[in-house]
Amino acid sequence: MYHTSNPEPDTAIDRTVPEFPVAQLSDEDKYFNSYKPPSYLPRIEDEVRSFIEFHATTSGKPIALVTSGGTTVPLENNTVRFIDNFSAGTRGATSAENFLENGYAVIFLHREFSLLPYSRHYSHTTNCFLDYMTEANDKIEIKPNYAEKMLKVLRKYKDAKESRSLLLIPFTTVNQYLFTLKSVSELLHRVESKALFYLAAAVSDFFLPQSRTPQHKIQSQDGGGKLVVDLEQVPKFLSRLVENWAPSAMIISFKLETDDSILIKKAKTALQRYQHQLVIGNLLQTRKKEVVFVNSKGEEKWIRLTPEQVEENLEIESLIIPEVVQVHNQWINRK
Amino acid sequence: MYHTSNPEPDTAIDRTVPEFPVAQLSDEDKYFNSYKPPSYLPRIEDEVRSFIEFHATTSGKPIALVTSGGTTVPLENNTVRFIDNFSAGTRGATSAENFLENGYAVIFLHREFSLLPYSRHYSHTTNCFLDYMTEANDKIEIKPNYAEKMLKVLRKYKDAKESRSLLLIPFTTVNQYLFTLKSVSELLHRVESKALFYLAAAVSDFFLPQSRTPQHKIQSQDGGGKLVVDLEQVPKFLSRLVENWAPSAMIISFKLETDDSILIKKAKTALQRYQHQLVIGNLLQTRKKEVVFVNSKGEEKWIRLTPEQVEENLEIESLIIPEVVQVHNQWINRK
């Protein structure tokens, strides 16, 4: 089956865009003072607060905030059009399942309608929902060849729900993402070092300042129209997260590249800039087969599926997460 | 439940963008000569050709091409980022079901992963796939409260598949959409006036010419970076469709507005510009409750759900499609 929605690796990352300076406190203040939080944010805060409180006082589980999927940038005055970031959410959704299986509670901050833990096995495929169903004796049922695996997935999903271990929080725009991340981060300070940030979302680099109207400058040209979109960079909030919002938590960010010769260097630069604990580097072409952990001491550790594991469709997140858990345990114990 | 992905009606359509001239033969030639067709297009053409042939020679059904969902504009050299058009595909997917129930064969040209006929009842909702399932006696089954309705939907879906009446064709980018639309249109000429075009997709107005590199002009400003995206208008192909690709078919386009005082005028302008048969006008705020048919004679006919029908969740497409079928029958018979 052909897929129409995958970008080509050789053109997927634009290297003409330079690195931006780290957001300073003033940038952060400026952003959150200039833009409005989403109107539903208090409801999310209530949900997150009671989720964290439950695990802090009752389950005792460590809490992973997993971000997943791409943020959008609405072209203002025209929210029918928006700039989007390519990401199905596979890394985030698969990782969330593995955190749950490793004893974590998971706040899954995800792009609405992107892949979700567990249901991901049955969505965004070429199969539609109804292709899993059949009719027998005037009743609808799951096709026998799917039933066994689906029951296993359902049990895990129900476990996660019944133990209150999985909280799904959606976003669409980069503004919603930033405000929600800030709120959740501040609330996660409650569990200090037992909080783990696993930032796998594809966050927009650029946004359209609300103040800039009219932002669509139409210029007559060859008798036709032309649209010029003028975007500002999104402040780089990772430092603020480390220093202010959740200073005791462990923070892991991702670095996706297409050129293996610069992957490690970019990961190390990110660690120096943001002073967080771990970057997981991966190449677009091989991201489902190998990743590299780069820590703040500059150590590198590759995690790779063996050819046999690739053959049997093992997911690399089942190797990544136990490694992450180990690093997080060290982080908790050194505090 | 809050949704993060719906645009606000009062800012959803940008009226600072003027109307563009109709594409001329030269614009069409220029576009299709300048851009590459998607590599999988021959496979789609084979599928569509044999689908049309089957219905032309065996079933005798009229064929509706339903386009649905939004097209994307990749920001070249950087297909991780793209401009998207807001559309879940509800109108298209619901209409496709109603065409099938009214005896049509349907080619469903849709944005990949947008809503599909039948499965739409169970996707893109706040429920995830697994929320419909339960376990009983060590077996997975559909929850009893969903089973009856789901069986009805499954039967219709299986009918459509077994009678070969539904062909799903995906697109993602506006370039894929345009090339695929052209191919399908030319192939549909086979059934002449029995072909119906029902163009409900949200097609991008602007695209980024491949020739324009580097298209990301970063300008230093306040010590930060800035992204300027310079877009050209997408040629307006509807006239070409009417005149060249499928001259005997009946063509229906949609006009979505937010201001009811200009809806009819915009619909009439479109009919004059493109010389096709019918515009279905609708307002973003009320599009699920009322639409207006405007035909080439300038006649207007409103189709509205009664308050009782709204109450019982009747879908307006179940009123729209029988009206469309009637108009299409007149079109076939006058030929």
The candidate with the shortest Cα–Cα distance to B264, out of B280, B285, B248, B243, is B280
Please indicate whether, in this complex, the C-beta atoms of B8 and A79 are within 8 angstroms of each other. Answer: yes
Round to whole Å and give the CA distance between B11 and A70: 23
First-last CA distance in chain B: 51
Opening angle at CA B304, ends B301 and B309, nearest 5: 155
- pLDDT interval class at A77 (50, 70, 90): low
Taking alpha carbons only, the member of A3, A107, A168 closest to residue B128 is A168
Decide if pLDDT at A296 tops 80.
yes
pLDDT exceeds cutoff 80 at A225: no
Cβ–Cβ < 8 Å for B276, B296: yes
Are A233 and B223 in contact (CB < 8 Å)?
Answer: no
- How close A214 gets to chain B, by Cα (Å)? 8
Contact with chain B for residue A302, Cβ under 8 A: no
Q: What are phi and psi of A292, to 5 degrees?
A: -125, 130
Q: Give A-chain residues touching B228 at CB under 8 angstroms.
A: 228-231
CA angle, B116 then B117 then B123, to 5°: 50
Q: What are phi and psi of B60, to 5 degrees?
A: 70, 5
Q: Report in angstroms the alpha-carbon separations of A167 from A157, A236, B130, B316.
A: 12, 26, 15, 35
Q: Which B residues in the span 125-164 are in contact with A, Cβ-Cβ below 8 Å?
A: 128-130, 133-135, 138-142, 147, 150-151, 153-155, 157-158
Residue A170, strand partner residues? A110
CB A284 within 8 A of CB A10: no
Are the C-beta atoms of residues A99 and A66 closer than 8 Å to each other? yes
Q: Which of B38, B119, B134 sits opposite A129 (nearest CB)?
A: B119
Q: List, for residues A244-271, the tens digit of each pLDDT value.
A: 888 899 999 999 888 888 899 999 999 9
- How far the first Cα of chain A sits from its last, in Å, is 51
Is B69 in contact with B123 (CB distance < 8 Å)?
no
Compute φ and ψ for B216, nearest 5 degrees. -100, 100
- Phi/psi of residue A166, nearest 5 degrees: -130, 120
Determine the pLDDT at residue B236.
74
CA A194 to chain centre: 19
Non-local CB neighbours of B229 within 8 Å, separated by 6+ positions: A228, A229, A231, B75, B83, B208, B215, B216
More confident residue, A319 or B80: A319
Gap between the Cα atoms of B171 and B113, Å rounded: 10
Q: Which residue has the tokens 């007149």?
A: B330
CA–CA gap between residue A11 and residue A129 (Å, rounded) = 33
What does DSSP assign to residue B93?
Answer: H
Distance separating alpha carbons of residues A13 and A26, to the nearest angstrom: 29
Q: State mean pLDDT over A181-194.
A: 95
Q: How far apart are CA B303 and CA A107, in angstroms?
A: 45
- In this complex, the residue of A141, A218, A227 whose CB is nearest that of residue B141 is A141
Whether A216 has a pLDDT exceeding 50, the answer reads: no
- Tell me, what's the pLDDT at B213? 41
Token pair of A157 as six digits: 């999903």
Distance CA A105, CA B11 (A): 39
Segment among A213-222, A326-335, B133-142 with least mean pLDDT: A213-222
Residue B74 Cα distances to A27, B172, B173, angstroms: 29, 10, 7
The residue among B44, B227, B254, B283 with the most chain A CBs within 10 A of its CB, best to mutate, is B227
Q: How far is CA B83 from the centre of its chain?
A: 17
In tens digits, what is the pLDDT along chain B, a chain of 335 residues?
455 555 555 554 554 555 555 665 566 777 888 888 999 999 999 999 999 999 999 999 999 999 999 998 877 555 567 888 878 899 999 999 999 999 999 999 999 888 999 999 887 665 678 899 999 999 999 999 999 999 999 999 999 999 999 999 999 989 899 999 999 999 999 999 999 999 999 988 777 776 654 444 333 334 345 667 777 777 777 877 877 888 899 999 999 888 888 899 999 999 998 889 999 999 988 999 999 999 999 999 999 999 999 999 999 999 999 999 999 999 999 85
Return d(Cα A311, Cα B76) in angstroms, integer. Answer: 34
- In 3D, which of B279, B84, B78 has the Cα closest to residue A78? B84
Angle at B202 (CA atoms; ends B68, A81), nearest 5 degrees? 135
Determine the length of chain A: 335
Residue A130: closest CA among B166, B111, B71, B1: B166
E strands present in A153-268: 166-171, 195-199, 206-207, 226-233, 250-257
Predicted local confidence at residue B234, as pLDDT: 77
The answer to whether A28 touches A240, Cβ cutoff 8 Å, is: yes
Judge whether A118 and A156 are in contact, CB under 8 Å.
yes
- Alpha-carbon distance of B289 to B297, in angstroms, equals 25
Asked whether the beta carbons of B255 and B263 are under 8 A apart, the reply is yes
At A223 the pLDDT is 40
> Three-class SS of residue B109?
strand
What chain A holds in terms of domains, given with CATH numbers, is: 19-334 (3.40.50.10300)
pLDDT tens, A93-114?
Answer: 999 999 999 999 999 999 988 8
Sign of the torsion angle spanned by Cα atoms B33, B81, B125, A119: positive
- Which residue's structure tokens are 């087969």? A289
* Region of poorest pLDDT, from A208-212, A234-238, B41-45, B75-79: B75-79
Phi and psi angles of residue B231, each rounded to the nearest 5 degrees, phi first: -110, 145
Shortest Cα distance, chain A CAs vs residue B9, angstroms: 9
pLDDT at A246: 86
Contact criterion met (CB < 8 Å) for B82 and A86? yes
Report H helices in A35-110.
41-54, 90-101
The yes-or-no verdict on residue A214 having pLDDT over 50 is: no
pLDDT band at residue A47 under the 50/70/90 scheme: very high
CA B69 to chain A, closest CA, distance in angstroms equals 12
CB-CB neighbors (< 8 A) of B79 in chain A: 7-8, 11-12, 86
Is residue B151 within 8 Å of B162, Cβ to Cβ? no
Residues 6+ apart with CB under 8 A from B283: B256, B257, B258, B259, B260, B263, B290
Identify the CA nearest to A88 among candidates A214, A253, A201.
A201
Whole-number Å distance between alpha carbons of A245 and A188:
9
Does B273 touch chain A if contact means CB atoms closer than 8 Å?
no
